[in-house]
Amino acid sequence: MNKKKEVQTLKISTESVLCNPEDFFQDMLNDGVSIHDAIMQIVSDELVHAKLQNEFPDGYEILEDGWENNSDGEYVVQLTEGWDHDDEDDDGLERKLITSDEDMAHA
């Protein structure tokens, strides 16, 4: 006898922060990046932004030159919490975020 599996419905809202991904994609191709690597770069960047949005739902601001990633899928992001912050009292925050195949499978 086949047991009927319970069905769950999830509603997931997404917000892409990358403007003009086609231009970014084309620029990477023009720089010699493979199609696979360009797509993976765009997907990874969006996953990092999704994680930041989850961790800082009231907003965050990435410092100038505060975004770095390496070939191991590790992102180092320097940011300030919240959109309205006092620059004099701002220590900034640094987070290391790892994007891996497992992370992408959960996204």
Residues of the chain with pLDDT under 50: 84-90, 99, 101, 103-107
Inside any domain, residue 54: yes
Inside any domain, residue 71: yes
Q: Both tokens of residue 26?
A: 């084309």
Q: Both tokens of residue 69?
A: 């990633």
> 3-class secondary structure for the chain?
CCCCCCCCCCCCCCCCCCCCHHHHHHHHHHCCCCHHHHHHHHHHHHHHHHHHHHHCCCCEEEEEEEEEECCCCEEEEEEEECCCCCHHHCCCEEEEEECCHHHHHHC
Inside any domain, residue 15: no
Inside any domain, residue 9: no
| Neighbouring C-alpha atoms within 13 Å toward the C-beta of 70 | 6
pLDDT at 51: 85
Chain Cα centroid distance, residue 98? 10
Collapsing DSSP to helix, strand or coil, 15 comes out as coil
pLDDT at 2: 75
Inside any domain, residue 68: yes
Inside any domain, residue 13: no
Inside any domain, residue 56: yes
pLDDT at 95: 55
Q: Give residue 81's domain range.
A: 21-106
pLDDT at 1: 64
- Is pTM, for the whole model, over 0.85? no
pLDDT at 104: 46
Inside any domain, residue 92: yes
pLDDT at 87: 47
Domain count across the chain: 1
